[in-house]
Amino acid sequence: MMQTSQRDLWARAWAPNGQRSARRCRSTTKATTVVSAAASARDMSSALSLANIRSSLIRQEDTIIFSFIERAQFARNLPVYTPDAIPVPGFDRCGRRYSLLEYVLRETEQLHGGVRRYTSPDEHAFFPDDLPPLVLPPITYPYVLHHCAESININERILQIYMDDILPGLTAPGDDFNYGSSATLDVTCLQALSKRIHYGKFVAEAKFLAKPEEYSALIRSGDAAGIMELLTDREVERRVVERVRRKAATFGQDITENGAVSAGTGANGGTPEGMNGDRLSTAIGKWEAP
């Protein structure tokens, strides 16, 4: 649904009327076809192998840990999340002024949306109704997920969990006036979390394909709890949290040129004071919840 509307906006922007549109349409139609064929071969051929999905999840973990470590160097900075505390030039449809975080997030999506970020099935916008026209020709991705997957976007909930549960555990209370840095790093954290959590769609599809009869029976009887139980692997979840704890502890060390390793202090480039594997994995472990 989201892809279609951006596609329509792209077509309108590039083909508004007459002669010019006819010429542009001819050349871009060809480009679209080429992009589509290349993308299907390159990106999606093994999208539903559980082994590939798991290795992508592990890489995404690293991205989240590094972005959390970066954000943790600044204080909580509550004005960043408080609408009207900072007079940003952006308002929602009801005329409410955005918080600085909402403003930076929305503006980032305006730029990234134009270059197709949110037409990819593994990316989800926080402002899906405000996406701009594409400036690149749209890509047609092969369907690897059930078509219902397109309508699933839980970013509103991710944003809430990030602000209410993750940030307080990650940052020191108080205000250091680094509002722009905090907001831009929040965007990096949120994008990484959103991608990791929504990747659950690929996990679910891969697990469905491995046991179609069992899942179909549960779907037919409307047993949502049974489906969740079948999808859940508590041992893997425990291993994820433990791995994150160990990675965070490792990434937080200062590794010197002569090989000596010491706990990071923040001032020397390690993780900020008080930021350790346990705090990080507690904050990060919350992504298993949704």
Ligand X SMILES: O=C(O)C(=O)C[C@]1(C(=O)O)C=C[C@@H](O)C=C1
What's the rounded Cα separation, in Å, for the pair 274 and 239? 24
Q: Which is nearer to ligand X, 138 or 277 (CB)?
A: 277
Q: Which is nearer to ligand X, 132 or 285 (CB)?
A: 285
Structure-token pair, residue 130: 């405000």
- Measured from the CB of residue 193, what is the shortest distance to ligand X in angstroms? 12
- Measured from the CB of residue 109, what is the shortest distance to ligand X in angstroms? 24
- Measured from the CB of residue 138, what is the shortest distance to ligand X in angstroms? 29
Angle between helices 179-198 and 50-71 in degrees, nearest 10: 160
Three-state SS across 152-167? CCCHHHHHHHHHHHHH
Yes or no: say if 251 and 271 are a contact pair by the CB < 8 Å rule. Answer: yes
Q: Which is nearer to ligand X, 122 or 273 (CB)?
A: 122
User: What are the residues whose beta carbons fall under 8 Å from the beta carbon of 168, sequence distance 6 or more?
Assistant: 76
Q: Which is nearer to ligand X, 84 or 233 (CB)?
A: 233
Q: Which is nearer to ligand X, 55 or 82 (CB)?
A: 55
Query: How many other CB atoms are found less than 10 A from the CB of residue 2?
Result: 17
Q: Which is nearer to ligand X, 33 or 55 (CB)?
A: 55
Yes or no: say if 242 and 267 are a contact pair by the CB < 8 Å rule. Answer: no
- Measured from the CB of residue 199, what is the shortest distance to ligand X in angstroms? 7
- Measured from the CB of residue 290, what is the shortest distance to ligand X in angstroms? 10
- Measured from the CB of residue 64, what is the shortest distance to ligand X in angstroms? 12
What is the residue whose two structure tokens read 């929504």? 198
In the complex, which residues of this chain contact ligand X (CB under 6 A)?
Answer: 54, 57, 200, 203, 231-233, 236-237, 240
Yes or no: say if 50 and 210 are a contact pair by the CB < 8 Å rule. Answer: yes
Distance of CA 254 to the CA centre of its chain: 28
